[in-house]
Amino acid sequence: MYLCICRAIRERDVDAAVRAGAKRPADVFRACGTSPQCGTCACDLRERIARTTAIEETRQPVLMAAD
Ligand code: FES
């Protein structure tokens, strides 16, 4: 599904950007090699970034201290 109609940014594009370190909509636009046009998608991008970030954090391996 497209989250940004102006720049054709899909959910999976946002997910990939988050995995590459994106934390804000501006980071997603940069990762997609574009820039915002109307800005209507900012809220949807933020929600997707938060969702994907939360999922990725649960996937992080638990590091245990070695003695
Ligand atoms: S919908 Fe994303 S910039 Fe317009």
pLDDT digits (tens, 9 = 90+) for 12-29: 999 999 999 999 999 999
Check whether domain 2-59 has CATH 1.10.10.1100, yes or no: yes
Is ligand 1 within 6 A of the CB of residue 28? no
Give the per-residue pLDDT at 66.
63
CB neighbour list of residue 13: distance below 8 Å, 6 or more residues apart: 28, 31, 32
Question: Domain coordinates of the chain in residue numbers?
Answer: 2-59
Is ligand 1 within 6 A of the CB of residue 8? no
Give the per-residue pLDDT at 67.
62
Q: How far is the CA of 59 from the centre of ligand 1 (A)?
A: 30
Q: How far is the CA of 56 from the centre of ligand 1 (A)?
A: 25
* pTM for the whole structure: 0.87
| Weakly modelled stretches of the chain, pLDDT under 50 | none
CA dihedral (6, 9, 10, 12) in degrees, to 10, reads -170
Is ligand 1 within 6 A of the CB of residue 37? yes
Give the per-residue pLDDT at 50.
98
CB neighbour list of residue 26: distance below 8 Å, 6 or more residues apart: 36
Structure tokens at 50: 């938060």
